[in-house]
Amino acid sequence: MTASISALLLDWYDRNARDLPWRHPPGAALPQDPDWPYRVWLSEVMLQQTTVAAVKPYFAKFVSTWPSVEALAAAPEDDVMAAWAGLGYYSRARNLVKCAKAVAERGGFPGSEAELRKLPGLGDYTAAAIAAIAFGQRAVVVDANVERVVARLFAIGDPLPGARKAIRAATSSITPDRRAGDFAQGMMDLGSHICTTKAPRCLICPLADPCEARRQGEPERLPVKPRKKPVPERRGTAFWITRPNPSDGGSEVWLVTRPGTGMLGGMRALPDDGWSARADGSGEPPLEGEWRSLGAVRHGFTHASLTLAVLALETGETPPGEGQWWPLARIGEAGLATLFAKAAALAMAG
């Protein structure tokens, strides 16, 4: 059965593969372009916990600005973080820079899954995906989509995360020696568009016949997920500090760069009251003055929801600590993390 599953899946993928800027046509020989592994790696890092639609414009911008891993390794980290702004999960961007430097130093990406796993920021999934897709190696690639397809295909009913060992073993049993990269991408496409979380389209699924969960009549039940824990609510305050700029008649806003580690690390931001280090920010405003309330914005993180109040002050003083005055007319170029971009939009609207 396992051999027929891979054949059915690859036949379906040959006819239905998504046309994505980081893919080559199914069944084709691997590209001889030396930057091909770079593009695969970049796309896989960007796609972690992020949709294809959201990644496409970021991928295009990155490969246009930094067309090779050597170019990315030589780029100022602030520029990379600014280009990443809005894509979320900012530790990925920090690891991206570290990994690019490591790859450039060694003269290129290693071709084996084991060696890829040694690079900064590459876990089991990313290393396997690059090995299979970029280098044609047989590797067992399991993302959330593959996890769902395989759990249903083999009716693996143990709850996650405990079921992952059995899911990986089952995925390995159907991964072919040849075209492992196409197989992995086909499974991803199948999970994304056919074997979906809700209302799976079993009638048009190429793996409907061998699917055990379909035979049992309850594919949506799998995989069994643990009960979600309530997300805590946090509160904080951001400070919108502006001053006139006599040189051009406009105004400037005070921006800071967050510490390299921790939440939104390395990103440009508005100064705040320390909410990320406390359940509720309790720091004082960086300057004395008549602060105006502009309202608040809400933002969801994976571990908490945040309500961020925004206070404004126009001043002639420069706040203490490191930062920079940024022209308001160019605030869109600052590369603010999404949370602070929301706060800036609220301030600009007010």
- Break the chain into its structural domains and give their ranges: 2-221, 233-349
- CA angle 30/35/36 to nearest 5° reads 30
Strands (E), the chain: 233-245, 250-257, 268-269, 292-300, 305-314, 324-327
Q: What is the mean pLDDT of residues 10-28?
A: 94
Q: What is the mean pLDDT of residues 213-218?
A: 94
pLDDT interval class at 245 (50, 70, 90): confident
Tokens 């397809």, residue located? 149
2-221: what fold? Endonuclease III; domain 1 (1.10.340)
44 included as an active-site residue: yes
On the question of pLDDT at 307 being above 70, the answer is yes
The lowest-confidence range among 9-23, 158-172, 292-306 is 292-306
On the question of pLDDT at 205 being above 80, the answer is yes
pLDDT at position 338 is 87
On the question of pLDDT at 211 being above 70, the answer is yes
Q: What is the mean pLDDT of residues 194-218?
A: 96
185-195 pLDDT, tens digit per residue, is 999 999 999 99
pLDDT at position 226 is 86
Residues sharing a CB contact under 8 Å with residue 282, sequence separation 6 or more, in sequence order: 273, 274
**Percentages of the chain per state (helix, strand, coil), in multiples of 5:** 45, 15, 40
pLDDT interval class at 163 (50, 70, 90): very high
Comparison of pLDDT for 283 and 143, the residue scoring more:
143
Q: Which of 44, 113, 147, 252 is catalytic?
A: 44
129-142 pLDDT, tens digit per residue, is 999 999 999 999 99
Q: What is the mean pLDDT of residues 127-155?
A: 97
pLDDT at position 126 is 95
Q: At what angle do helices 180-193 and 144-153 cross, to 10 degrees?
A: 80
233-349: what fold? Nucleoside Triphosphate Pyrophosphohydrolase (3.90.79)
On the question of pLDDT at 263 being above 80, the answer is no
Tokens 């900012």, residue located? 90
pLDDT at position 89 is 78
On the question of pLDDT at 249 being above 90, the answer is no
pLDDT at position 288 is 86
pLDDT at position 203 is 95
pLDDT at position 280 is 52
The rounded percent of the chain whose pLDDT value lies above 90 is 69
303, 294, 299, 302: which is closest to 235 by C-alpha?
299
322, 290, 307: which is closest to 238 by C-alpha?
307
Return the structure tokens found at 105.
């130093």
CA 146 to chain centroid = 17
pLDDT at position 281 is 54
Q: Which amino acid is at 220?
A: E
pLDDT interval class at 1 (50, 70, 90): low
Tell me what the pLDDT averaged over the chain comes to. Answer: 91
pLDDT interval class at 227 (50, 70, 90): confident
pLDDT interval class at 59 (50, 70, 90): very high
Q: What is the mean pLDDT of residues 93-119?
A: 95
> The pTM is what?
0.78
| Domains 2-221 and 233-349 fall in the same CATH topology | no
pLDDT at position 45 is 95
